[in-house]
């Protein structure tokens, strides 16, 4: 009897295990089904509605959005990354809205806007002008308006500000942290190998203040950029008193009783004061109410994602390729958003370039690794050797390594607000022999050659290594100016006179011959088409390596950022300024980390302005703070 019970119990157990396994399998199938649906979901053109085109910018405008791995994000415990919007997508959306009868107005929600580069803001502002020229109103709403938001507001027909909001004009520039005295206190020896009077990337590690050449070059560039900003907003909104906000911000605010919104309105920087509901009611007067929502101030609209899906670019005619080099140029396969040399070279050497009629190199980079820059340049040179016309289009920054990769271009386009040049290279090697000696640690040994055991970060560098390192950097510089001279039809001596690591604004660079003409990416594409003997309508642009991010939809849904139509959180002026200071802290810590993290010869521009607000300090940088505290005995 007992045996029968045991057999029955085993059968029941097996049955229960089978049910469990079946349920697990079913749940796995459901999970992967949902995952597949999330990954493949695309906006439907059917989501386009008569009303406004709503551009709710909850992040920064960039040349190439960075790709985020959702698995790494979920396991990191970090907050959701800020969204990034491709500048040319916004321009394309605005141009499509100008000619589409379904769009009655364009609305920018700038409540959580993090800014973008001067060139991108200029391009978007020009697109806004084209919408207004089509007799369609463009409205902006925000709580805090800074330089980039004010630039967009200047081009709008109506700019609204929250009653608790304010505006301020920072202008480009700021302070750089110099670690020379700290490193000397810690007895860290920083070995610098560089060429170029103005190549100031190394200065924060060997000085306690900016050098006169660095100050001269940086001031000239920043004055030019700020001049371009002021000219743009003054032309778009000639009656506004931007000068008062720039020269006497405290008096300007005090004259309005400390009310930032009133001060902005009195100066003409914005037109109306009202909260989100009041703003929405105004838009309803222009485009109608959102019949699917009962929320106050909800207006009929189409969001950016659906609008872009309904207005896909043409694919008629031959292909003109566009390769994007955005962000720091690094060794390896990093990116998009970072210009991994191996990744970009593989795209250029791949089969996708076989049928191209021409190629445009879009650069928005302060440079980086010399080896990665050269890897990209040689791939571009191979395409050029095949008889394919190659043009270069510079965005906000195309400096140092960003100019190195531009040398194969037969024609270089830039904007007045572009920062370029910085032709020079350097290398940094920190050693800790003096630090360790204070703790009784010294180095000794036997060498068979002067290079044995070198470079020795703990025992120091030999004089032979110092001399060899400088000689190699000087040879790299000669190669750099030789490439530029060959590209620009000048002698190396002529290039050396305007190189030396100095940065230039786009206007001066054009006068010096580093740039051929002012123009946008569209202008560069048009020139490339002409070189390929293609008339309008006989070609279309193909952006190499910009396949749809398979994780984008999933990440947006996981972070709740897939619907730009909902109202973003609103922060006051102080919160906005605090975010900027946090970003500045992150950049300062990143600068400190580069001393140890930088590998190999670098062609990098320190004085180039960032394209957008930097992210807050990462866990890696927090680790750097811990290390510094340890060194200081804190």
Average pLDDT over residues 377-382: 97
Average pLDDT over residues 413-421: 96
pLDDT in tens, 87-116: 999 999 999 999 999 999 999 999 999 999
What is the reported pLDDT for 575? 53
Residue 446: pLDDT band (50, 70, 90) is very high
Residue 624: pLDDT band (50, 70, 90) is very low
E-assigned strands of 196-315? 272-273, 301-303
What is the reported pLDDT for 427? 86
Domain annotation covers residue 507: yes
CA distance 461 to 431: 8
**CA-wise closest residue to 189 among 466, 475, 440:** 466
* Higher per-residue confidence, 248 vs 451: 248
E-assigned strands of 435-500? none
Q: What is the 3-state secondary structure (H, E, C) of 287-311?
A: HCECCCCCCCCCECEEEHHHHHHHC
Domain annotation covers residue 348: yes
Predicted confidence (pLDDT) at residue 422 exceeds the cutoff of 80 = yes
Domain annotation covers residue 413: yes
pLDDT in tens, 354-373: 889 999 999 999 999 999 99
The CA–CA distances, whole Å, from 86 to 225, 303, 553 equal: 22, 15, 16
The mean pLDDT of the chain is 85
Domain annotation covers residue 371: yes
Mark whether 305 is an active-site residue.
Answer: no
pLDDT in tens, 321-332: 999 999 999 999
Average pLDDT over residues 306-335: 93
Domain annotation covers residue 491: yes
What is the reported pLDDT for 632? 37
Exactly one of 114, 199, 319, 490 is catalytic; name it: 199
Residue 572: pLDDT band (50, 70, 90) is low
What is the reported pLDDT for 611? 47
Predicted confidence (pLDDT) at residue 308 exceeds the cutoff of 60 = yes
Predicted confidence (pLDDT) at residue 574 exceeds the cutoff of 90 = no
Domain annotation covers residue 579: no
φ, ψ of residue 355 to 5 degrees: the values are: -105, 20
What is the reported pLDDT for 617? 40
Exactly one of 56, 60, 373, 400 is catalytic; name it: 400
**CA-wise closest residue to 160 among 285, 257, 278:** 278
Percent of the chain residues past pLDDT 70, beyond the cut: 79
Average pLDDT over residues 372-385: 96
What is the reported pLDDT for 455? 85
Least-confidence region, from 378-392, 459-473, 555-569: 555-569
Predicted confidence (pLDDT) at residue 559 exceeds the cutoff of 70 = no
Predicted confidence (pLDDT) at residue 278 exceeds the cutoff of 80 = yes
* Higher per-residue confidence, 29 vs 617: 29
**CA-wise closest residue to 51 among 312, 303, 309:** 303
Least-confidence region, from 44-58, 110-124, 579-593: 579-593
> Which domain, by its residues, includes 475?
318-423+463-536
Least-confidence region, from 32-41, 282-291, 525-534: 32-41
Predicted confidence (pLDDT) at residue 596 exceeds the cutoff of 90 = no
Predicted confidence (pLDDT) at residue 609 exceeds the cutoff of 80 = no
**CA-wise closest residue to 220 among 622, 511, 491:** 511
Predicted TM-score (pTM) of this structure: 0.84
Average pLDDT over residues 516-537: 96
pLDDT in tens, 43-78: 455 588 899 999 999 999 999 998 776 555 555 555
Number of domains forming the structure of the chain: 1
Least-confidence region, from 199-213, 316-330, 560-574: 560-574
Domain annotation covers residue 517: yes
Predicted confidence (pLDDT) at residue 630 exceeds the cutoff of 60 = no
**CA-wise closest residue to 54 among 114, 92, 109:** 109
Percent of the chain residues past pLDDT 90, beyond the cut: 64
Q: What is the 3-state secondary structure (H, E, C) of 73-98?
A: HHHHCCCCCCEEEEHHHHHHHHHHHH
Predicted confidence (pLDDT) at residue 627 exceeds the cutoff of 50 = no
Residue 628: pLDDT band (50, 70, 90) is very low
SS3 500: coil
E-assigned strands of 168-245? 189-194
Residue 221: pLDDT band (50, 70, 90) is very high
What is the reported pLDDT for 353? 83
The CA–CA distances, whole Å, from 455 to 191, 203, 450 equal: 11, 22, 11
Domain annotation covers residue 372: yes
CATH code of the domain covering residue 475: 3.90.226.10
Predicted confidence (pLDDT) at residue 209 exceeds the cutoff of 70 = yes
Burial of 609 (C-beta count, 10 Å sphere; 0-12/13-18/19+) = buried
Mark whether 199 is an active-site residue.
Answer: yes
């Amino acid at each position: 009897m007992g045996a029968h019970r045991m057999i029955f119990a085993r059968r029941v157990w097996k049955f229960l295990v089978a049910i469990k396994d079946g349920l697990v399998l079913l749940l796995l199938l459901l999970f992967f089904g949902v995952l597949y649906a999330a990954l493949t979901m695309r906006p439907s053109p059917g989501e386009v509605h008569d009303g406004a085109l709503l551009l709710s910018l909850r992040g920064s405008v960039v040349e190439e959005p960075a790709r985020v791995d959702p698995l790494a994000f979920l396991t990191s415990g970090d907050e959701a990354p800020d969204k990034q919007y491709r500048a040319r997508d916004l321009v394309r959306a605005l141009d499509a809205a100008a000619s589409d009868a379904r769009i009655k107005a364009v609305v920018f929600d700038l409540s959580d806007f993090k800014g973008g580069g001067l060139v991108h803001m200029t391009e978007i502002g020009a697109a806004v002008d084209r919408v207004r020229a089509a007799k369609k109103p463009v409205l902006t709403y925000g709580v805090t308006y800074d330089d980039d938001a004010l630039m967009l507001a200047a081009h709008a027909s109506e700019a609204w500000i929250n009653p608790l909001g304010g505006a301020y004009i920072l202008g480009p520039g700021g302070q750089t942290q110099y670690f020379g005295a700290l490193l000397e206190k810690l007895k860290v020896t920083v070995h610098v190998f560089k060429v170029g009077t103005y190549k100031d990337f190394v200065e924060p590690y060997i000085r306690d203040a900016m050098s006169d050449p660095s100050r001269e070059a940086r001031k000239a560039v920043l004055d030019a950029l700020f001049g371009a900003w002021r000219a743009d907003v003054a032309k778009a909104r000639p009656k506004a008193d931007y000068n008062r906000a720039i020269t006497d911000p405290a008096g300007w605010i005090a004259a309005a009783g400390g009310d930032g919104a009133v001060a902005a309105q009195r100066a003409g920087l914005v037109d109306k004061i009202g909260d989100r509901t009041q703003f929405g009611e105004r838009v309803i007067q222009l485009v109608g109410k959102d019949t699917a929502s009962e929320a106050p101030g909800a207006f009929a609209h189409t969001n950016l994602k659906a609008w872009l899906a309904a207005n896909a670019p043409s694919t008629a005619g031959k292909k003109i390729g566009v390769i994007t080099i955005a962000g720091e140029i690094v060794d390896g396969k990093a990116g998009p958003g970072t210009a991994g040399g191996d990744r970009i070279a593989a795209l250029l050497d791949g089969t996708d370039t076989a049928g191209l009629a021409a190629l445009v190199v879009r650069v928005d980079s302060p440079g980086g690794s010399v080896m990665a820059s050269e890897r990209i340049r040689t791939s571009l040179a191979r395409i050029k050797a095949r008889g394919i016309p190659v043009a270069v289009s510079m965005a906000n920054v195309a400096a140092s390594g960003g100019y190195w990769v531009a040398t194969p271009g037969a024609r270089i386009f830039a904007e007045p607000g572009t920062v370029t040049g910085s032709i020079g290279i350097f290398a940094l090697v920190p050693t800790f022999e003096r630090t360790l000696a204070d703790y009784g640690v010294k180095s000794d040994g036997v060498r068979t050659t002067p290079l044995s055991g070198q470079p020795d970060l703990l025992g120091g560098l030999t004089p032979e290594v110092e001399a060899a390192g400088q000689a190699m950097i000087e040879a790299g510089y000669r190669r750099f100016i030789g490439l530029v001279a060959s590209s620009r039809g000048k002698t190396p001596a002529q290039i050396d006179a305007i190189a030396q690591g100095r940065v230039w604004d786009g206007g001066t660079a054009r006068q010096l011959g580093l740039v051929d003409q002012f123009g946008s990416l569209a202008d560069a594409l048009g020139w490339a088409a002409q070189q390929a003997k293609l008339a309008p309508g006989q070609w279309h642009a193909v952006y190499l390596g910009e396949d749809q991010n398979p994780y984008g939809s999933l990440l947006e849904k996981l972070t709740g950022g897939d619907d730009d139509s909902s109202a973003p959180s609103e922060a006051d002026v102080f919160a906005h300024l605090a975010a900027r200071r946090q970003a500045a802290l992150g950049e300062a810590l990143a600068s400190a980390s580069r001393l140890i993290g930088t590998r190999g010869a670098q062609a990098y521009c320190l004085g180039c302005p960032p394209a957008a607000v930097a992210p807050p300090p990462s866990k890696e940088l927090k680790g750097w703070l811990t290390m510094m505290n340890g060194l200081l005995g804190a």
